Amino acid sequence: MISHFEVAMAAENQYEPKIRYNRLRLFLVILMSVISVVPLLILAFTNYTQYEQAFSNEMSHQVTRRISTIKQSLEMFIDERKAAINFLINDKSFEDLSNEKELQKLLTRLKKSFDGFVDLGLIDSEGNHRSYAGPYNLFGKNYKGQSWFQEVVLDQIYVSDVFMGFRQFPHFVIAVKHEKEDGSFYILRATLNTDMFKKKIYSLEFRPQSDACLINLNGVLQTPSRIYGNVLDDSRITIPSYSRNAVVQQKKDSTGSPYIFGYAFIQDSPFILIVNKSSDDFLAGLIGIRRNLLILLTISIILILAVIFRSTTYLVRRIEKSDLKQAKLLHSAQYTNKMASIGRLATGVAHEINNPLAIINEKAGLLKDLATFNDDFKYKDKTFDIVNSILNSVERCSTITHRLLGFAKRMDINAELIDIELLLNEVTGFLSSEAAYKNIDISFHFEENLPSITSDRGQLQQVFLNIITNAFYAVKEEKGSIKISAERGRNRMINVIVEDNGVGISKEHLDHIFEPFFTTKGKYGTGLGLSITYGIVHKLGGDIKVKSELGAGTTFTIILPIESQNI
């Protein structure tokens, strides 16, 4: 029975201000937005970070490949010219190389075959220039005190740094030593300009903010640099550790902007190729991706928020309508409760009135019989009129009391086609909040292709609600488990099984659980739930069975006909 307090509360809730639902809508919008948008932002940030790393790695790979290409090209450039000079010094005699005309012819042939040669000179073991072919007047110059002369004496073949020298323009030399049979030696030295270095380095085609250059092992620039200065300036670059292969590193400048630093040692030479790829090059490829990602992310967030706002608005409106409907139902329940009380009162009144009416009816009939069999009774007609009036009044009262009894009876059963699986899900849906609060695990196991049954939905809902509610009281919190299954039975029956792992029912109580007013819940139970349930199941043409063991749980089996003959 619903109390007047609950009805009053429902009526009060019906007229709550709209601000309650607005707050609920705002809370749902914020909650769903956080749940939906935050993972999207995390995913977008993660993907962008991964793409940025992949893009950075790809750029590093490209720079490494291009540095390796220039490194091989410079090494080939130097090796070809070393090989050409080595061939000349071994192919020609000292006398031939001492002849300036012959030396001039050799220089002309070298220039035709190879770029970069400026002059050729023959130097004896004392460092004196014995012959010279080229545009400068270097005959008679002595190089014995210079470091490159000492290097070539020791290493046979020598490639110098870029220097100014007597020519007063940046150049480098390749010198090859040849020993005579008498133990003396001479050196064939070629001067080369650095234009080819510039051409090969500039082929990298970097943006203006980037740079590539050659330095020597002392950090002195061997080619011009956009960042570090002119030829022979100190680059202030820390000499990297030696590596046979190209090395690329990702660094940050003083402003925190990323850039790529790469280098490669040119084999058998004093040169190191240095590459700086600026942050503009590093970030140029990411700008378009970042813009597209932000556009896509913004559109996605707008769509998500729009859907969330629409759905929450619809949901809150449904809740508001449900609250109003609940209030109406509570009012209706109050009215029904009153009518039930009247019905019970009518039943009692009808029984109390019917008993004296029956006596009056019998006495009036007896009086009529006496008047009928007494021929001398002179008031016979008058008596018959009075008795008939009494009998008519009794019949009228009897009709009224029967109407009152009919009013107190239950409504007729409404038969409809019911999906057992759907019905059980609906019933457990009523208890989902309590199950979540008590941490009770509810599992379902339904036989495939289970047929629908013809029965009364409201009555079955009450049956299953009573049994599942009893299971809720029986199981322990935190470890409670309720298993609900449905399967075909014999003779076109459906078996619905509700099994719990609760406290169970003792054997002495098991035979009495369907008796009215029998309860094991103490003051919390009325003892009518299972009694009513048992009556409803049998009224619908089914049966109910129970198995239980104290401390091991209880299993209720509700057997229902697919097509009930009692409806």
In this predicted structure, the answer to whether residue 127 has a pLDDT above a threshold of 90 is no
Pairwise CA distance, residues 409 & 332, whole Å: 18
Domain contains 71: no
Bigger pLDDT: 209 or 411? 209
In this predicted structure, the answer to whether residue 139 has a pLDDT above a threshold of 80 is no
Domain boundary among 163, 193, 223: 193
Neighbours of 412 (CB within 10 A): 8
Name the pLDDT band for 13 (thresholds 50, 70, 90): very low
% of the chain with per-residue pLDDT over 70: 84
Which residues sit opposite 336 in a β-bridge? none
- Can you read off the two tokens belonging to residue 76? 């080939």
Pairwise CA distance, residues 404 & 406, whole Å: 5
- Can you read off the two tokens belonging to residue 467? 């049994």
Q: Are 495 and 559 in contact (CB under 8 A)?
A: yes
**DSSP labels for 534-546?**
HHHHHHTT-EEEE
Q: Please write down the long-range contacts of 503-512, taking CB distance under 8 Å and 24 or more positions apart.
A: 503/474, 503/475, 503/476, 503/550, 503/551, 504/474, 504/548, 504/549, 504/550, 504/551, 504/552, 504/553, 504/554, 505/546, 505/548, 505/550, 505/554, 506/550, 507/550, 510/546, 510/548
pLDDT of residue 3: 40
In this predicted structure, the answer to whether residue 446 has a pLDDT above a threshold of 80 is yes
Name the pLDDT band for 4 (thresholds 50, 70, 90): very low
What H or E segment, with its residue span, contains residue 33?
helix 19-91
In 3D, which of 218, 279, 289 has the Cα closest to residue 251? 279
Where residue 183 falls (left for φ over 0; alpha for ψ -120 to 50; beta otherwise) is left
Instruction: Find the helix packing angle between 529-539 and 457-474, rounded to 10°.
Output: 140
User: 453-499 pLDDT, tens per residue?
Assistant: 988 887 888 889 889 988 888 887 777 889 999 999 888 899 999 99
In 3D, which of 65, 464, 39, 506 has the Cα closest to residue 247? 65
Bigger pLDDT: 248 or 566? 248
Name the pLDDT band for 214 (thresholds 50, 70, 90): very high
pLDDT of residue 556: 93
Bigger pLDDT: 358 or 167? 358
DSSP 167: G
Domain contains 205: no
3-state class (DSSP) for residue 189: strand
User: 289-316 pLDDT, tens per residue?
Assistant: 888 888 988 999 999 999 999 999 898 8
In 3D, which of 77, 67, 56 has the Cα closest to residue 206? 67
Name the pLDDT band for 263 (thresholds 50, 70, 90): very high
User: 215-243 pLDDT, tens per residue?
Assistant: 999 999 999 988 888 999 998 999 999 99
In 3D, which of 556, 411, 355, 369 has the Cα closest to residue 471? 556
**CATH number, position 468:** 3.30.565.10
Name the pLDDT band for 12 (thresholds 50, 70, 90): very low
User: 554-567 pLDDT, tens per residue?
Assistant: 999 999 998 876 66
Q: Are 280 and 209 in contact (CB under 8 A)?
A: yes
- Can you read off the two tokens belonging to residue 417? 């086609």
User: 50-65 pLDDT, tens per residue?
Assistant: 888 887 788 888 889 8
Backbone angles phi, psi at 555, to 5 degrees: -130, 120
User: 368-426 pLDDT, tens per residue?
Assistant: 777 777 766 677 777 777 878 888 888 867 766 664 554 444 445 678 898 999 889 88
Pairwise CA distance, residues 534 & 246, whole Å: 88
User: 489-509 pLDDT, tens per residue?
Assistant: 888 899 999 999 888 888 888
Q: What does the pLDDT average to over 154-176? A: 86
Overall number of domains in the chain: 2
Q: Are 191 and 118 in contact (CB under 8 A)?
A: yes
Backbone angles phi, psi at 148, to 5 degrees: -65, -30
**CATH number, position 98:** 3.30.450.20
User: 510-536 pLDDT, tens per residue?
Assistant: 877 877 656 666 655 555 577 778 888
Pairwise CA distance, residues 277 & 565, whole Å: 89
- 175: Cα separation from own chain's centroid: 68
In 3D, which of 298, 300, 293, 305 has the Cα closest to residue 46? 293
- Can you read off the two tokens belonging to residue 179? 């020993």
Pairwise CA distance, residues 462 & 536, whole Å: 9
Pairwise CA distance, residues 42 & 23, whole Å: 28
pLDDT of residue 410: 47
Neighbours of 467 (CB within 10 A): 23
Name the pLDDT band for 538 (thresholds 50, 70, 90): confident
DSSP 450: P
Pairwise CA distance, residues 132 & 425, whole Å: 106
Domain boundary among 193, 221, 238: 193
Greatest Cα pair distance in the chain:
191
pLDDT of residue 216: 93
Host domain of residue 467: 416-561
Domain contains 424: yes
In this predicted structure, the answer to whether residue 7 has a pLDDT above a threshold of 50 is no
In this predicted structure, the answer to whether residue 206 has a pLDDT above a threshold of 80 is no
pLDDT of residue 355: 80
User: Which is it for strands 171-179 and 441-446: parallel, antiparallel or unpaired?
Assistant: unpaired
pLDDT of residue 335: 45
In 3D, which of 113, 253, 132 has the Cα closest to residue 191? 132
Pairwise CA distance, residues 22 & 317, whole Å: 10
User: 312-363 pLDDT, tens per residue?
Assistant: 989 888 888 887 777 667 755 654 565 466 556 766 777 778 788 788 878 7
pLDDT of residue 75: 92
Mean pLDDT, the chain, integer: 82
Pairwise CA distance, residues 447 & 347, whole Å: 46
User: Which is it for strands 157-159 and 129-133: parallel, antiparallel or unpaired?
Assistant: unpaired
Q: Are 260 and 65 in contact (CB under 8 A)?
A: no
In 3D, which of 211, 156, 229 has the Cα closest to residue 187? 156
Domain boundary among 193, 226, 248: 193
State the distance between the two ends of the chain, measured CA to CA, in whole angstroms. 28
Where residue 308 falls (left for φ over 0; alpha for ψ -120 to 50; beta otherwise) is alpha
pLDDT of residue 403: 47
Q: What is the 3-state secondary structure (H, E, C) of 335-355?
A: HHHHHHHHHHHHHHHHHHHHH
Q: Are 178 and 185 in contact (CB under 8 A)?
A: yes
% of the chain with per-residue pLDDT over 90: 24
Neighbours of 432 (CB within 10 A): 12
